[in-house]
Structure 1
Amino acid sequence: MTADHDTTPAQAEEALRTDGRVRPRPGDPARAEAFLPAPAVQNHAANLAVLPGGDLGCVWFGGTQEGVADICVWFSRLSPGSDTWTDPVRLSEDPERSEQNPVLFPAPTGELWLLHTAQRAGAQDTAEVRSRVSADGGATWGPSRTLFPATAAGGVFVRQPVVVLDDGRWLLPVFHCVATPGTPWVGDHDTSAVMISDDQGVTWRERPVPGSTGCVHMNVHPLPDGTLLALFRSRWADSVYRSHSHDGGETWSEPVPTELPNNNSSIQYVPLADGRLALVHNHSSAADATARRVSLYDEIDDDGLAGGAPATTAPAVATGGDRTAFWGAPRAPMTLALSSDGGYTWPHRRDLDTGDGHCLTNNSRDRLNRELSYPSVAQTPDGALHIAYTYHRRAIKYVRVAPDWAADA
C-alpha cells in the first residue's frame, strides 16, 4: 500500500480552502480534489449520490458539534462539466435534536429521497430515522416525516444507501443503538438489520442480521451472481466484517471478519461497472491506538456536555466476556481498496490521505480533531470514481480518480 501524500497539521491548515473548487492535484494528473464549502464549524459524515439529471449530490451534517441541537443536514451538488460545488443548502432544522448521518436515494420512481437520523443530544438510543422527498431532483423538498421511530429497545440509525434489486425490492440497511438499562448508550449492544419494502417505500418490514452485535453501518450491494454482500464497521475496532444473503435480504449469514482492519469508523463500498468492488476505509484498528477515548461527546460550553455518554475505559473484553466498544483508534489513513473476487481479498490499496488520525475528541472549534473518516464512494457513467470524506471534522473533502488509480500504485 502506498501513500499518496503525507502532510503536517500546519500544511493541512494552509491547504484547507473550502471554496468548492475542483482542482488537479499537483504531481498527480489522474486526481482532482476540492474542499466543499463549509457552512458550520463542524462538518461530518458525507454521502454521495448521482442525482436525476446527472448532477453529483453530497449531503452531510454540520453545526457546532455532533450531538448538539444545531447539527443539521446540508446539501451541495456538482453539475457535469462544472468545476465548483454549489453553496450548501440546509435540509433539516429541528431545534431539539441533533440531525445526523444523511443519505440521498434517487428512487426508480424519479423521486429523490433524503434519509437522516434525529437524536436527543448524544443519546443515540433515542434516534429516529426521518425522510423528505423531492419531486424535482432536489430543487424543492416535501415535509419531513418520521420513517422509523425509536422504540423501547433503542434508537434506529442509518448511514448507507438504499439498494434497489432487479425485482424492484428496496433494501435500507439500519442499525439499532441499544443501551444497557439504567446506563447511557456507549455502543456495546448495537445490532444490524435491513428494512425491506416491496411497494416502493410505502411500507417496510425488518429483517435482522443474526450475530451482528457490534457490526454496524451495514453496506449492501448485489454481486453479479445475485448474492447480496454486506460489509460492516466494527464497534470492537478489529476488522471489517462481511455477511451474505441468498434470498433477496430475507435472511443473512452471521458476520465474519475480513482481512481488512477497522477502527470503529465508517466504511463504504460500491460495485464498479467492470465487476470489481471499490472500498474506501481507514486502514487501521485498535491495534494502532496509543490511547483510548474516555468520552464520546466533548464539553463544548459552560452548559456542560453535548451529550452524556461517557465511554468505558475497560479493556476490549470486559468482565464476564462481554465485549465493549473501542473508541479512539486512529481515523487514518483514508484508503481506497479494490477487490476482484467479490470482496474476499483486497490486493490493491492506495492511501488517499494520511496523517495521525487523532480522534480522541470531536472538538472542531479548537481544531483538536485530525480524523479522516466516514467515506462515501460513487461511480458516474463516465467511469470516474468520486469519493467524499470528513477532513478533521472541519470540512468535507472530495476526490475524483479513475478506478485504476489504486491498482496503478
Structure 2
Amino acid sequence: MRNSIICLFVMLIPVLGSAQQIPNDYTGKYYLPPLAKPGEGALIKSELIYELDNKPTPQVHASTLIETPEGIVSAFFGGTHENNPDVGIRVSRLINGEWSWPEEIVNGVQNDTLRYPCWNPVLFQPEGKPLMLFYKVGPSPTTWWGMLTTSEDNGKTWSAPKKLGEDPIIGHIIGPVKNKPVQLASGRIINPTSLEYIINGREQDWKVYFEISDDGGDTWKMVGPVNDGVNFDAIQPSILTYPDGRIQAISRTKQNVLSQIWSDDEGETWGEMTALDLPNPNSGTDAVTLTDGRQLLVYNHSTKDGDEPKGRNILNLALSENGIDWKPVMTLENIPVEDGYAYPAIIQASDGLVHITYTYNRRSIKYAVVDPRNFSIRN
C-alpha cells in the first residue's frame, strides 16, 4: 500500500540453525500506527536540517546527535557518495531553533596525493571531559580505523584528530561503530562496536564487540566477539541500561530480525545472542533508556521482501518496559523514496523530550522531536 495509512502485522519465527533467514510470515502480531504528523500526538517537530535545494554535498548519511549546555549538536558524513574519497564529517548546531550550515570539520586526507573517505561519526559527552566526536577513516568498513576529535566549546571548534590506536588481537580500535557510548554510574564508558571481516576474499563475517574504558576514554580494552557469526551476523549495537545493573545491547543482523544480548557485570561478559521479536531489513537502529525507565527504539519495522513500504522505506519507534516485549508507538516515515530512511540516532534531552536524527533519502538529515509522555499505545 503506497502513501496511505499502513497496518503491517508481523509474527516472527525464532532463528534456528546456521544463519537462517526469518520467513516473512506477517499474521497479526503488531499494529503499526499511521504516519505521524507534527503537532499531533507525541510528534512535536519534524524537519530537514537543510533543504534539498541547498545541499552542502550530493549525499549524506549516518547522523549522530548530542545535547550540550548550548543546545543540540548533530554530525554526519557527506560527499559525492558513501565511500568516495571526498566524504568528510560535517557538524551542524541548533541555534535559536535554526540549524547552522553543516561545516566540514575533519576529512580523510593522508597526504598530498592520498585521501580516504570518512564514516559513521558518533558524538559523546563523558563526565568531566571535552565533547568527543568519534569517526572512522579508511577505504571500506573492513579496512577502516577509529579517529577522535574533541571540542572544549560545545561543538564550535575541534581539536586536531588523533587515531584511537591498536588492539593486539583485532588490530585497529574502531570506537563506537555507529551508536553512542554509555557511561555507567561507576564511571565506566562502554563503546558499542563491531567489525566486518573478509572471508575467502569476498564474504563478510559480522561480529559485535564492546570497548571499555575506566579512565574517561583515555585507554580502551576490547571485549568480544560476543556472537559466533553463525546464528547471527550482527553489527552496530546500541546499549540500554536497567535499574538492576543489567545492560542490553540491540544489534542489526542479516537474519531479518534485531538481535539482543545481555550483561550483568558492566560489560565484562555477555550472555547468548538471541532474536528480538522485531523485524529488521539489515539496517541500522538506535535506542535510548528514558529517565522513567522505559526503553525506546528507533528502527525500520520491515524486511526487504513483500509490498512497500519495505526495507528502509518505513521508519518506526517502539517502546518497551523490559527490553523483551516491544510495542510500535510511532511511524515516522512510510512513503517510499529512492534511498529510504535510515541510520537513526536518538537521545533524551534534559527537558525530557526525545530528539532523533536520521538519513532522509541520502539527500539530507531529518530531525524530529518527540514527547515520550504522549505515546498512544494500542494493545
Equivalences for residues 7-46 of structure 1 within 5 A: 25=38, 30-37=43-50, 38-46=55-63
Residue 331 of structure 1 aligns to a residue in which SS? Answer: helix
Deviation at 1:289, TM superposition (A): 7.7
1:345 counterpart = 2:338: no
Paired position in structure 1 for 2:236: 217
State the match for 2:8 in structure 1.
none
Distance 1:207 1:117 in 2: 19
CA distance in 2, matches of 1:142, 1:131: 9
Residue aligning to 1:355: 335
1:173-206 alpha-carbon deviations (Å, 9 max, x no partner)? 111110014x24x5x3010111111111121110
**1:313 match:** none
Pick the aligned partner of 1:254 from 272, 275, 279: 272
Q: Deviation of residue 155 (structure 1)?
A: 6.5
% identical equivalent positions: 29
Q: Deviations over 1:81-119 (max 9, x none)?
A: x22111112121223111010001111123101100112
Give 1:66's aligned residue: 82
C-alpha separation in 2, matches of 1:117 and 1:227: 29
Which of 179, 183, 189 is residue 160 of structure 1 equivalent to? 179
Contact 1:61/1:71, CA 8 A, preserved across alignment: yes
Task: Tell me how far 1:152 sits from its aligned partner.
Answer: 9.0
1:128-207 alignment, distance < 5 Å: 128-149=145-166, 157=174, 158-181=177-200, 183-184=201-202, 186=203, 188-207=204-223
Q: In the alignment, which residue of structure 1 is the partner of 2:355?
A: 386
Instruction: Give the aligned length.
Output: 332
Equivalent residue for 1:88? 102
Closer, same or farther in 2 for the Cα pair 1:255/1:97, shift >3 Å? same
Decide whether aligned partners of structure 1 residues 271 and 146 sit closer, same or farther in structure 2, where only a CA change above 3 A counts: same
Paired residues of 1:156 and 1:177 also in contact (CA < 8 A): no
In structure 2, the partner of 1:233 is 252
**Cα contact 1:216–1:235 (8 A) shared by 2:** no
Once the two structures are TM-superposed, the CA of residue 166 in structure 1 deviates from its matched residue by 0.8
Unpaired segments ≥5 residues, structure 1: 6-23, 291-328, 358-368
Cα distance per residue 1:312-356 (max 9 Å; x no partner):
xxxxxxxxxxxxxxxxx7112110111112x10112422011123
CA contact (8 A) 2:42 2:371 kept: no
Letter in 2 for 1:353: E
- Measure the CA separation in 1 of the matches of 2:228 and 2:76: 26
Residue 29 of structure 2 corresponds to none
RMSD: 2.3
Structure-2-length-normalised TM-score? 0.82
The SS at the match of 1:178 is: strand
Query: What amino acid maps onto 1:169 in structure 2?
Result: R
Give the whole-Å Cα distance in 2 for the aligned partners of 1:88 and 1:287: 35
Instruction: Identify unmatched segments of 5+ residues in structure 2.
Output: 1-31, 110-114
